[in-house]
Structure 1
Amino acid sequence: MEKIFDNRVQERKYRVLKEVAKSSWEGVEAFSVFNEIAKKVVKKEEISRSCCIYKDRAIIADRIRLALGGNRKNPNIVQVIDIACDECPEAGYVVTDMCRGCIAHSCEDACRLNAIDVDSSNKAHINKNLCVECGKCADACPYSAIHNYQRPCEKSCKVDAISMAEGGEAWIDPEICIDCGACVYHCPFGATVDVSSIGEIIKSIIGSENNTKYKVYATVAPSISSQFDYAKPGQVISAIRKLGFYDVVEVALGADMVAEKEAKELAEKGFLTSSCCPAFVQYIDSKFPNLKEHVSSNLSPMAELGRHIKEKEPDAKVIFIGPCIAKKAEVRKEEVKDYVDYVMTFEELQAMIDSKDILLREQKEADLNQASEFGRGFAKAGGLVEAINHGINELDLPEFEFKPVSCDGVENCKKILLRADKGRLDKNFIEGMVCEGGCIGGAGNLTHSEKNRYIGARKSINVK
């Protein structure tokens, strides 16, 4: 196998998606061949990841359900597989054995609630009946002896949408969740999973009857250039076409359209926040309602390109392929659902390609050079700012002073939005991306290593 996975959770997710895709190509309902899929994903000779192989296979059944769209009554894009959740203990702040029993007692002095007790050997202890988990004691300890033990899913969720249900398993609050998918990658047991439309996408391709009844377009995010490091970008484009898509179009083209419109809107309104990251928009809706009126009225590049395609061909199917889990929520919105039919992550694309036994390295390199370098720059944090700056220069508005600020990651965005909410931000445009580094740090990427942040997001896919 050419590909390398970050961990076994990612590999198992890939195996399930691949087998579900295979069944879909064959026109077989995945659940009707559940036993066969379970045996392929969880082999008898493998060491069980839980109490026994039978629980492992029961978890696979739930993974198949999510690969087929998940629980339709659950509004969340990211759903919890209860049986897979390890119900990790929640200890909060704990004094570890690293406590030296010093005489300074900085931790005790830092606690305003008197929740720190010191025993006869000068060792500190936290009274959980008084502690409010503020962390001031941990900050004060010169030995870093006080540690905050959090569940990995809760720690990864910067909007505090995850808590513990009555049964101990993780629970995601749909009113708070912004569908960023950070918890999907960070759960060591793979209990938090994004729902997939891979089966529906394959049905759409088959139903087009080789694109004669209607055409199926694949629109690819700019960050595809940082994926599939075992093949060249042009070979990936060829593989996508071989799956049965009528054509492959760069979403960067939609980004070019958005940048021009957003530059005009900013010049007219005087203050604006970006709308290209759906998780960022949801974050503003949820936490900063006073700023909602300042969110750009423009569609995201994905939706803008989808509208462009469907205005020319109303019967066409548009499938977005990218690193973003939140896009799966975006396509459910009234203003977007008519323009984009389904969303597929790079993880799902890899499984789909392999389900057809398409070897990327054997594909010819295809041309795909429909957009500008500014449109491709949307994949990284700061790219939208560069594109709008270019757009303003093109509009020739010497009297308008462009004062942008770019933020990526929820914590950084929170700082900027708090200042804007209080009228203390000396800027007139906020570019916000929830994933660290921008789209190249998306939860649906194949790998999540640091190198993705530095690989040229503007790299042209035109390899000829």
Structure 2
Amino acid sequence: MSTSRYDEIFKKLVKTAYRGDMAEEVAKIRDGDSVTDQYLLYASGGGDPNTVVFKVRDCSGKCDAGDDNCEASCLFGAIVRDMEGNVVIAPNNCTGCGKCVEVCKHYSLVDKKEFVPLIKILTDRKVPVFAIMAPAFIGQFGPGVTPGKMRAALKRLGFYGMVEVALFADILTLKEALEFERHVTREEDFMLTSMCCPIWVSMVKRVYQDLVPHISPSVSPMVACGRGVKHLHPGARVVFIGPCIAKKAEAKEADIQDAVDAVITFRELEQIFEAVGINPAELEEDESEHSSSAGRIYARTGGVSQAISDTLSRLRPDRKIKIRAIQADGVQDCRRMLKDVLEGRINGNFLEGMGCNGGCVGGPKVIIDPADGRKSVEDYSREAGSMTPVDNKYVMELLRRLGVQDTSDFLDSSKAAMFIRNFEQEAQNRDKTNGL
């Protein structure tokens, strides 16, 4: 895998920040080139705190034949041209999904790296900082890197602990099953899951607004996990680690920005380990995991549907209307499915969308081949001690510690507030802001 100058600068900043001489390294790197200065700014976490994607050099958009085009890749019309024909990011349209960064072969567009500002907090150890790890992580850092070894490696970096987001995917699986029961009471009813994929959610909110009333009012597992950790450890910081640039933007959304303080990708974590000389495979095991099979398969397309369907069958085995799930795999598939729903051409009642082909295991910042990632996820799922969260005693105990005494409390907005979003209110606020 090739490494860009941007990535190399990031690694140098990480290494020297842990050593305590980053300022000297920055002085060495500076060469009078404006692009290098931009790389230094964004690799160190600088720039607009609410922005994820930045343009670092002028670009005419005349890519080589066969290259993907950033303008065409943008789902929301945020890549436009100025009077001279140069590529420009329209900030009001940009959702920070990172699709343009993914396709740009010339590194004219970059996503901000958020790790360097955390290093002083990690090394001081005055504030507990938790790493929360996306379900797709299993297998990404080598076949010998178990969850326990990854936890040990993160503690070497200064993290207080690691929590698998799959455990909170379990919790949201219960919630989504109950939401389905509440909202789908007739054969013609349907529900869109809001979990996991911020690209999918942004598509519904910005392009297919008529479907917002059908979206489940649930936060993503990342947000649930971040809020859960902070509830149990007041004052803690939370860092999400996953395969997705779009999660950096999701973490900054106004109604959920309390949950996660920074987002780093799998590739960035790999670069961090290289910079400081940590090999997770060589470390001893540290603790065990308690998520069910259901939470672990969220990492691949169809996993959310399967988890929620199995859980609903476990909760309500006699329910007449079962989940008839339809999955959209990748952006174009998501568009087709949502268009079909609007035009009445749909025969399912539970719609799951994943913006990346294969799901999170096919995200832009994965380290291994998506097929290998899916296999690792499936293998890890089979190792779980329980099949659904209903059978997972750790989930039920965690819920009680978070103030949810009974599964029916999930439908009570006051008791389950940390797990709930109000998409319809958000849409109304956006319309008012836009003068509609």
Q: Under TM normalisation by the shorter chain, which class is it?
A: 0.7 to 0.9
User: 1:273 corresponds to which letter in structure 2?
Assistant: L
Q: Could you tell me whether the CA contact under 8 Å between 1:226 and 1:440 is conserved in 2? A: no
Asked if the contact 1:184/1:193 (under 8 Å) is kept, the reply is yes
1:317 deviates by 1.1
Counterpart of 1:187 in structure 2 is 104
Preserved CA contact (<8 Å) 1:260 1:391: yes
Residues 10-34 of structure 1: per-residue CA shift (max 9 Å, x gap):
xx3331221121233244555x632
| Structure 1 equivalent of residue 344 of structure 2 | 423
SS of 1:237's equivalent in the other structure is helix
What's the secondary structure of 1:82's corresponding residue?
Answer: coil
Percent identity over the alignment? 31
Distance 2:251 2:105 in 1: 28
Contact 2:237/2:260, CA 8 A, preserved across alignment: yes
Specify the alignment match of 1:102 in structure 2.
none
Q: Which amino acid aligns with 1:422?
A: E
| Conserved? CA contact 2:13–2:25, under 8 Å | no
Q: Quick one: which amino acid aligns to residue 41 of structure 2?
A: R
Counterpart mapping for 1:15-164 below 5 A: 15-28=8-21, 30=23, 33-37=25-29, 58-72=34-48, 75-83=50-58, 85=59, 87-89=60-62, 152-164=69-81
Pick closer, same or farther for the CA change 1:327–1:90 going to 2, 3 Å. Answer: closer
Provide the residue aligned with 1:198 in structure 2. 115
Give the alignment partner of residue 156 of structure 2, picking from 239, 242, 246.
242
Work out whether residues 259 and 388 of structure 1, in 8 Å CA contact, stay in contact via their aligned partners in 2: yes
1:219 to 129, 132, 138: 132
Could you list the runs of 5+ residues in structure 1 that have no partner in the other structure? 39-53, 92-147
- Work out the number of aligned pairs and report it: 375
Partner of 2:332: 411
- Report the alpha carbon displacement of residue 204 of structure 1 after superposing the two structures with TM: 2.7
* 1-structure distance, mates of 2:46, 2:215: 31
1:339 match: secondary structure: coil
Q: SS state of the match for residue 432, structure 1?
A: strand
Aligned to 1:284: 204
Specify which structure has the higher proportion of helix: 2
Match runs of 1:296-375 below 5 Å: 296-375=216-295
- Is the counterpart of residue 389 in structure 1 residue 302 in structure 2? no
By how many angstroms is 1:231 displaced? 4.9
Secondary structure, aligned partner of 1:203: helix
Offset from partner CA, 1:122-174 (integer Å, 9 cap, x none): xxxxxxxxxxxxxxxxxxxxxxxxxx877632344355432333344322233
Distance in 1 between the 2:254 and 2:311 partners? 28
Report the CA distance between 1:288 and its aligned residue: 0.5
Say if 1:369 and 1:460, in contact at 8 Å, map to a contact too. Answer: no
Q: TM-score, normalised by structure 2?
A: 0.78
CA distance in 2, matches of 1:230, 1:394: 33
Matched residue SS, 2:353:
strand
Structure 1's 200 and 370: CA in aligned 2 closer, same or farther, altered over 3 A? Answer: farther
Instruction: Give distance in 2, aligned partners of 1:165 and 1:150.
Output: 21
Over the aligned positions, Cα root-mean-square deviation in angstroms equals: 2.6
Q: Say if 1:224 and 1:233, in contact at 8 Å, map to a contact too.
A: no
- 1:297/1:457 CA distance change after superposition, 3 Å: same
CA distance, structure 1, for counterparts of residue 255 and residue 336 of structure 2 = 29
Q: Which has the larger radius of gyration?
A: 1
Q: TM-score, normalised by structure 1?
A: 0.74
> Shift of residue 451 of structure 1?
3.4
Q: Do the aligned residues in 2 keep the contact of 1:376 with 1:457 (CA within 8 Å)?
A: yes
Q: Distance in 1 between matches of 2:51 and 2:44?
A: 14
Q: For residue 16 of structure 2, give the secondary structure of its aligned residue in structure 1.
A: helix
C-alpha distance in structure 2 between counterparts of 1:459 and 1:181, whole Å: 29
Cα deviation, 1:271-318, whole Å, max 9, x if unaligned, reads 321222112111111110111122211111011111221221121111
AA aligned opposite 1:68 = S
Unaligned runs of 5+ in 2: 185-189, 385-436
Whether the 8 Å CA contact 2:198–2:247 is kept in 1: the answer is yes
- Aligned ranges for residues 432-451 of structure 1 at < 5 Å? 432-447=353-368, 449-451=369-371
Return the offset for 1:249. 0.8
In the alignment, is the contact (CA less than 8 A) between 2:170 and 2:295 conserved in 1?
Answer: yes
The correspondence for 2:320, drawn from 380, 396, 399, is: 399
Which letter does structure 1 place at the counterpart of 2:82? A
CA-CA distance at 1:422 after TM superposition: 2.5
Mean Cα deviation higher: 255-264 or 231-240: 231-240
My pick for the range that moved more, 428-437 or 389-398, is 389-398
3-state SS, counterpart of residue 376 of structure 2: coil
